[in-house]
Amino acid sequence: MSREISTCPLRLRHYPGHLEPEYAYTLGIAGERFFREIKENARIMGAKCKKCGKIYVPPKLYCEECFEKLEEWVDVGTKGTVYTFTISFLDEHGEKLEKPEIYALIKFKGTYGGIVHRLGEVKPENVRIGMKVQAVFKPLTERKGTINDIAYFKPIME
């Protein structure tokens, strides 16, 4: 999609290369707590700055604004509002998706930040900014402590 090549570079002189970087990204103090709560208790946690009062979702160890250390944890619930969304018709390789994916930033009342995730149980044409949604967690046995332990967010009645 983002490439418009009329000549295939593979047919010309080149040397093929392949990088295979592998990492184990450390979740950190805030990340570990966040994902453990999602995995074990199906809870979404934020971290509160005692100086400015902002509740960060996802939680961080520090406040972006005040540079304070955040030590107070807050359960922010599993219901939120669609702040913005898109319908993606292409997959991660730029190929056309059979079924488009809906991505959204979901904000939680009284908090700062939110969660970027997929929406489910809704037709793309019915999604609106401001729509109320709720996290749908995978069954406990399938949860691994990642953001994908939330399967998607689905619309709810207010």
142 binds another protein, rule: CB under 8 A: no
Q: Which helix (H) or strand (E) holds 32?
A: helix 28-41
Answer yes or no whether residue 4 interacts with another protein by CB under 8 A: yes
The 88-127 site mask, x for binding another protein (CB under 8 A), equals xxxxxxx------x-xxx------xxxxxxx-----x---
Pairing relationship of beta strands 79-90 and 150-155 according to DSSP bridges: unpaired
52 binds, among another protein, Zn ion, none (CB under 5 to 8 A by kind): Zn ion
User: Number of helices and strands (H, E) in the chain?
Assistant: 1, 9
Rounded CA gap, 52 and 41, in Å? Answer: 28
Residues that bind another protein (CB under 8 A): 1-7, 9, 12-14, 17, 19, 23, 25, 27, 31, 56-58, 64, 83-94, 101, 103-105, 112-118, 124, 129, 146-148
